[in-house]
Amino acid sequence: MRSLKWSTSNAVFIPEIDDEHKEIFKALSNVHEFGGGLSPELSGLTQRLVSSVEGHFAHEERLMRAARYGSLRWHKQSHDGARKRVKQFVDMIGQDDKAVRELVEYLTSWLHVHTALADRMMGAFLRNHQRSLWKLTFRAGTKPMEACTWVDADGNAFEPHTN
């Protein structure tokens, strides 16, 4: 089985997304350490894992929609497939002794693959999108607007359009 710990090989270089990935890996590790058998504690750990995954997917999908990410549909399909499989494994816990182990193995493998390709692509796009929003800068201090020097990201002066 692949490592249950987040590492820089899982990084997408967007701190809030990396933090959510770390949380998911930690929740997976907690479920794995608890093992099998139906109990309220396992149920709580599993619910925490599912909540972390669901919240993370929803967050990524909001970010991608807001940035008009071109591969949103493909990325969301990957999330939807994982959602479906995780639900199937969770529904089997208590009926099948292997369900917890299979859930942990599936989601661990899926996360490593997903973060390495889909999330890295998304991360690069979102970082570039954020940079494009920062292109327009100005040097104003406390001067009135007409006394300001307006420059773009390359340092070229321009006159702002005002209404």
What would the CATH number be for the domain defined by 8-134?
Answer: 1.20.120.50
What does the alpha-carbon distance between residue 129 and residue 16 come to, in Å, rounded to a whole number? 16
pLDDT in tens, the chain (163 residues): 678 888 999 999 999 999 999 999 999 999 998 876 667 888 899 999 999 999 999 999 999 999 999 999 999 999 999 999 999 999 998 888 799 999 999 999 999 999 999 999 999 999 998 877 765 544 445 566 677 777 777 778 877 766 5
Amino acid at 143: K
**Total-model pTM:** 0.79
- Joined tokens for residue 70: 């071109």
| Domain boundaries, given as residue ranges, for the chain | 8-134
Contact (CB, 8 A) for 21 and 115 = yes
